Amino acid sequence: MDFLDKLIVFPVEHLPFVLLVLLISFTVHEFAHAYFANVFGDPTAKLLGRVTLNPSRHLDVFGTLLFLIAGFGWARPVPVNRENFSNPRAMGIVVSAVGPLSNLLVAFIGALVYIVLLKYHVQGAFANERVGEAINIFFEYLINYNILLFLFNLIPLPPLDGYRIIEDLAPRGLRIKLQQFEKWSIFIFMLIVFLPPVRAVTIKPLFDLISPMYLSFIKFWAKVIGLG
């Protein structure tokens, strides 16, 4: 247990909740990409069995382990052939955007379910301290980490969705210039994540939005449901 405590960024006792949240969050994200690509006329993901909510088709073992160790990771990218779209750039933007938007939707719906459970006490489950604590922990991770995935994937660095959106929005000349820098993206990404001064002025302000968004979702549904 001491070894795991030092290895992962989460409390060991929270590991089952974190893994379950990752299963849900990564699967929904990649399914959204695959589903809309198929709807828009690209069967690549469907032929590979990716238009499914089966987590085993989407999870990347190393990416999941890295999330547990470093707090960020990835699932298996969904292959998309934009040439199959009738409008490659517009449809490409939608296919890229639905991934992070699906995580935002999971967080928003998760907040609703959590508030409903709080209001109606899950038929007395909240009276049981351990059950109540487990529910609190699960929904805190579910909402917060789906907001995290929403914000993280909007970062305009390849291969993240934010970059693909910028790439499809940019004029051809700028796209060619952007593509020349793709080979350096992993080094830029490592600087942003692991170098504190760079992180402080790049992704930290973005991630500082997580708590306010979490609270806004909770307060919104609490007001709608009439809790408190």
Q: Could you write out the DSSP letters of every residue in 48-83?
A: TT-SS--GGGT--HHHHHHHHHHS----PPPP--GG
Show the CA angle centred on residue 57, arms to residues 151 and 194, nearest 5°: 35
* Total domains, the chain: 1
Average model confidence (pLDDT) across the chain: 88
Active site residue 30: yes
User: What does the block give as tokens for 222?
Assistant: 């609490």
Instruction: Choose the catalytic residue: 30, 129, 133, 140.
Output: 30
Rounded Cα distance, 12 and 142, in Å? 17
Which has more pLDDT, 52 or 1? 52
Domain hosting residue 144, numbered range: 2-225
Span 26-44, mean pLDDT? 97
Check pLDDT > 90 for residue 20: yes
Look at residue 5 and tell me whether its pLDDT is greater than 60. no
State the residue for tokens 């490409």: 92
Is the CB of residue 34 less than 8 Å from the CB of residue 45? yes
| 93 touches 165 (CB < 8 A) | yes
Stronger pLDDT, 88 or 197, i.e. the higher one: 88
Which contacts qualify for 178-183: CB closer than 8 Å, 24 or more apart? 182/158
Q: Which residue has the higher pLDDT, 184 or 50?
A: 50
Could you give the CA distance from residue 168 to residue 78 in angstroms, rounded to a whole number? Answer: 17
Does residue 132 or residue 27 have the better pLDDT? 27
Mean pLDDT of 116-129: 70
Asked if the model's pLDDT at residue 3 lies above 60, the reply is no
The structure's pTM equals 0.90
